[in-house]
Each structure stands twice: as structure tokens, then as C-alpha cells.
Amino acid sequence: MGDCQQVIQLFIVHFTLFIHFCIVQLILTQYAQVEGLSVKKEYRRIVVCIFIVALFFKVLRNMQTLFLRLSVSAPLRPDETSGRGVRALAWLTAVGFALVTARGLLTANWWFFVMLSWNVFLAWFPLGVQLVLRDLIGHRLVGRVGVWLGLGLWLLFMPNAPYIITDLFHIQHIQAPLLWFDTMSLFLFAMTGLLAGLYSSYLAHRLLDQLVGWPLAWVLMALCQGLAGFGIYLGRWGRWNSWNIMSKPWLLGQAVWQSAHDTLAVKLTLVYGFVLLGLYVAFWLYVRTEKK
């Protein structure tokens, strides 16, 4: 019975990756056409990114014995959640899609739909990494080495969740007749992305508690929120993406080094990081109170 369940779970994982691949292909093609970009070039980059992510989980599956052998201490416990958070975020996402779809049908302008759909997909991705990692831990398919690799992948994409807040900047370019509608749409997507980021941060925090203990876990979480603030700067002002660490590692490294000496980058990182940490602490306190 256990082998049958594993086969079903692996089928679901691969089928989900295939569906995500199809959705990304559709959104990316539309985005490239709207922005006048090379569809083939952008498509190749995202395909490489998805392939590496899929390969990452495949390696974890095939190296199960090695990872478990390297776990010298007590096995990790998966975070037990009721699923209410995921359902709430899915509902908010559906409401947001309804708004931007209605806007596209009424105005024949699909730019908002393409932009916000892509950004909310990226906001969901780090949460998806945490949920998959939780299931892998629950089925004892990974040990501590695999968990650290998963946390690294989560941190790479985590800034995409709060990044969607900066889409509010587009309000200044919206025409007056649609200002009231687009303001609500942008706010809804920004809130959804922010909550997805807070939820994934909470799941990562629970894992860090088991890996390094609660004092160091809080230090690492504060550092992660600061790095998220820096990631927002790189994305909004530098126009860099998470997958550029694989497609343009040298150029991205140069941009990071230059940004470290940029006054705006430092100020934005400190302010955004401080606000994100404050929001996360409030979220953590609320969740802990609810659990009690």
C-alpha cells in the first residue's frame, strides 16, 4: 500500500510540474508579445529555470538514502497545518484573476492580466517550494542536507512574493477613468503576494527552529527579510530576476557588487527589510496565538 501511495504522489508531482510548465509558457508568450521581447529567448530562459527546479527535486528523490544517512540527529518533523492558509490564498488569487480578466474583456487591454498573473505566480512559487519540502519531510524522503538545499531554493525566490507590492507604482500611470478599478486590483494582488511570502517565511522559520534552535532561527529570519528587501531593489530598479543567477550569474554578481555601494540600494534594503521583518513578526504572533 505504501509503494502505491508513493507512485500516486510522484504522479501528482510530475503532473503538477507539467501544468505549471504549460501555464508559464502561455503567460510568458503573452508577456513577451506585449513587451515586444523575443519570445524564443525569454522562453528558453524560463525553461532552463523550470528544468533546474524539477531536476533539484528529482535529485532529492534519487539521493534519499544519502540524505537520510547524513542526518545524524533526530529526524525533522513536518509542519502540521490545516490548509486554511493555502485555501485563503487560492481564494484571493481567484478573486484577483476575476478582476483582471474582467478588465481585459472590457478594455481589450490585457497588459494588467499578463503582468499581475506572472507576478502572482512568482509570489506563489516560494510557498510551493515550502509545501513540497514539507511533504518530502513528512514522507522521510529528505534529511537535513536536502532541507538546507530546499531552504536555499526558497530564499532565492522568496523576494518575488513581497516584490509584487511595488506594482503599486503603476498607479501613477493609470488613466483617471480606470484608476478606482486598477487601484483595487493592484492592492488585492499585492496583499496576496505579501501574505504568500509571510506564510512561506513562517514555514521556513519552523524548519530553522528544528535545524539550529530558536535564537539563531530568528537571526536567520531577520537576515532573510533583509535579503528580500535587497531582492526587491534588484527586481524593481535593476530589473533582475531570480533565474538570472543561472542565466547571467556573472552580470548579476556585478550588479550586486555595484548595488552594495549604491546609496539608494542600501536605504531601500534597510527600510524594506525592516518593514518586512515587522510584518513577519506580527504574522508570527498572530499564527502562534491562533495555534494556542
- Residue 258, judged by CB atoms within 10 A of its CB (0-12, 13-18, 19+), counts as exposed
Q: Which pLDDT band, with edges at 50, 70 and 90, does 47 fall under?
A: low
6-32 pLDDT tens trace: 444 444 544 455 555 555 555 555 555
**Residue 70, pLDDT score:** 41
128-153 pLDDT tens trace: 999 999 888 888 888 888 899 999 99
Grid cell listed for 287: 499564527
What's the full length of the chain, in residues?
292
Helix, strand, or coil here: 92? helix
Find the distance separating the first CA and the last CA of the chain, reported in whole Å. Answer: 35
CA 225 to chain centre: 13
What type of residue is 242?
S
**What is the C-alpha separation between 88 and 85, in angstroms, rounded?**
5
Grid cell listed for 110: 490585457
Domain ranges of the chain: 2-212
Grid cell listed for 288: 502562534
